[in-house]
Amino acid sequence: MSQNLSEQEIIRREKLKSLQTAGIDAYPAALYPVSNFSTEIKQSFSEEKKEDFANVCVAGRVMSINDKGKVFFIKIQDSKGIIQLYVKRDEICPEEDKSFWNLVVKGLDLGDFIGVTGFVFITRTGETSIHTQTLTLLSKSLKPLPVVKRDEEGHVFDAVSDPEFRYRQRYADLVINPDVKDTFVKRTKIINTIREFLNGNGALEVDTPVLQAIPGGAAARPFTTHHNALDVPFYLRIANELYLKRLIVGGFDWVYEFSRNFRNEGMDRTHNPEFTVLEWYTAYKDYFWMMETTEQLFEKLALAVHGSTELQVGEKTISFKAPFKRISILNAIKENTGIDVSEKDEAGLREVCKQLKIDVPPNIGKGKLIDEIFGETSESKYIQPTFIIDYPVEMSPLTKKHREKEGLVERFELMINGKEIANAYSELNDPIDQRERFEEQAKLMERGDDEAMFIDQDFLRALEYGMPPTSGIGIGIDRLVMLLTNQQSIQDVLLFPQMRPEKMD
């Protein structure tokens, strides 16, 4: 396949050929002994400590070049930040032969990787820099980076913002938009904080299957594949819930998993077909305990990422200080619409949808209708952390019936900034009741609801051995990261979000 090269790309390839002709390896394989990083040097260097920085070795990508003839000022970006290099021809090439200077230094392009050794000093303009004594070309860049404008202090004021480019070429986005990298560093910090919290409370991290014979644990449309060796259809998991509950049956008291899930559904600012969910299940607990534990975790996360229980999201200030508000889903609908749907049957709920101008498909049942009404009229109203509790039984086929309120189950969803962040139950552990709930789901599937749950006979068998009272929760990690990093789109917290395949030249 031929490439349509730009003028810049052609020039860079010609430079590469010149290096190769001169016997200079533009992609050397030898280890390069990096011993220092940009931020460490700039934060720690002083005239009093200059002896500690008399022999540094750094490496990074060339981000700017200021050619002064026999002196170059080059800024390189390493994994921590940007630092300036002072490169003088007669020190890099003291002999008569200046070919290295002409081919390598003068031939440098933005995006090239170089390594340097030297000593640290402060220029007359007050910038901490490295007086370069040796320079090594580590990798030649053949494709120019998009131009990003920076001020004299290196702050970006004209970033590349085209989402098509940023999401499709995330590797370049990370280089030219420094805040992007910070988002993903915070994502890892969030996950590590959750692990520390759970491990510190005695939970056990486990792995469960991604390929499943039955896509259970949620109401969603699965991706289908085929297992050649067994010659049967398999599904990418939509949830890991039923496997984690099997482990509670098997005798574990508290298990958790960061689960990569797949749902063959729409894509928008808060949905991606591949996403990450944290689920944990704890024996001998209920949803009241789970609400308190969730409050503790979210308060800890806010402190870990921001050093405060208050978080600024756009123009809103959100407080993660416990306790959080609690309101039933039926009261939430009544609070926001003035309509009491608690006693309405399917036909009545369809009338409510018509009255509220909510379009709903004809093949969904009572539970999905209530879910649609809440989603369209109420969900966005809950900015401060709020537990929406006590859902109708039709909405929650895996949840224990409410101990006091007929027709409801012990379930909550945590809403923050108008979005669902977590979903939790007192888990249904009655195998007969569970079988009946699955059979109701099967009837919905026959009506054409392609998100209704399959009947998982093996899970029912596990329940028949006996599962202790258990509480479980699922937390959408991607939405949680969006919230804690103040991002408006799920694609901004996924390193490589799904996109339509690109037509390559």
**What pLDDT is attached to residue 1?**
45
| DSSP per-residue letters across 218-250 | SSSPPPEEEETTTTEEEEE-S--HHHHHHHHHT
* Residue 63 exposure: Cα atoms within 13 Å on the Cβ side: 23
Question: What's the rounded Cα separation, in Å, for the pair 298 and 435?
Answer: 35
**Residue 379: DSSP 8-state:** G
Same-fold call for 7-145 versus 180-324+384-493: no
> What single string gives the DSSP state of each residue in 333-371?
HHHHHS---TT--HHHHHHHHHHTT----TT--HHHHHH
Q: How far apart are CA 375 and CA 371, in angstroms?
A: 6
Of 205, 245, 282, the C-alpha closest to 467 is 245
Separation CA 496–CA 168 (nearest Å): 7
**Both tokens of residue 222?**
């699965």
Question: What's the pLDDT at 362?
Answer: 87
pTM of the model: 0.88
**What pLDDT is attached to residue 156?**
57
CB-count burial class (<10 Å; 0-12, 13-18, 19+) for 406: exposed
43 three-state secondary structure: helix
**Could you tell me the residue ranges of all domains in the chain?**
7-145, 180-324+384-493
Closest listed residue to residue 132, CA positions, set 78, 67, 85: 85
Helix (H) or strand (E) holding 463: helix 457-465
Closest listed residue to residue 58, CA positions, set 44, 73, 79, 28: 79
Q: Prior bond to 323 cis, omega within 30?
A: yes
Sign of CA dihedral 164, 170, 171, 173: positive
CA dist 497 and 474 (Å) reads 21
Cα–Cα distance for residue pair 271/287, rounded to 1 Å: 26
> How remote is the C-alpha of 492 from its chain's centroid?
8
Within 10 A of 229 (CB to CB), how many other CB atoms are there? 5
What burial class does residue 382 get, using C-beta atoms within 10 Å of its C-beta: 0-12 exposed, 13-18 middle, 19+ buried? buried
Number of DSSP helices (H) and strands (E) in the chain, helices first? 15, 20
Beta strands in 12-107 (DSSP E): 56-67, 71-77, 82-88
Quick one: 7-145 is in which CATH superfamily? Nucleic acid-binding proteins (2.40.50.140)
Please give the chain's pLDDT, 505 residues, in tens: 457 899 999 999 999 999 999 999 999 998 999 999 999 999 999 999 999 999 999 999 999 999 999 999 999 999 999 999 999 999 998 777 788 999 999 999 999 999 999 999 999 999 999 999 999 999 999 999 987 765 555 555 556 788 889 999 999 999 998 899 999 999 999 999 999 999 999 999 999 999 999 888 777 889 999 999 999 999 999 999 999 999 999 999 999 999 999 999 888 888 899 999 999 999 999 999 999 999 999 999 999 999 999 999 989 999 999 999 999 999 999 999 999 999 999 999 999 999 999 999 888 888 889 999 999 999 999 999 999 999 988 888 888 999 999 888 999 999 999 999 999 999 999 999 999 888 887 887 777 766 666 788 999 999 999 999 999 999 999 999 999 999 999 999 999 998 888 876 6
**What is the predicted pLDDT for the residue at 491?**
95
Q: Which two tokens stand for residue 312?
A: 């600024």
Alpha-carbon span 290 to 285, nearest angstrom: 7
**CB distance 271 to 265 below 8 Å:** yes
Q: What are phi and psi of 66, to 5 degrees?
A: -120, 105
CB–CB of 80/39 below 8 Å?
yes
Burial class (CB in 10 A: 0-12, 13-18, 19+), 443: exposed
Tokens of 59: 């490496």
Q: Quick one: tokens of 44?
A: 């720690």
Q: Are 256 and 206 in contact (CB under 8 A)?
A: yes
Short-list 80, 156, 187, CA closest to 485: 187
Tokens of 499: 């996109």
Is residue 414 within 8 A of residue 476, CB to CB? The reply is no
Q: pLDDT at position 383, please?
A: 97
420 is known to lie in a ligand binding site: yes
Dihedral-angle region of residue 247 (phi above 0 means left; psi in -120 to 50 means alpha; beta otherwise): alpha
- Annotated ligand binding at 413? The verdict is yes
CA–CA gap between residue 260 and residue 258 (Å, rounded): 7
Q: How far apart are CA 476 and CA 484, in angstroms?
A: 12
Give me the CATH topology for the region 180-324+384-493.
BirA Bifunctional Protein; domain 2 (3.30.930)
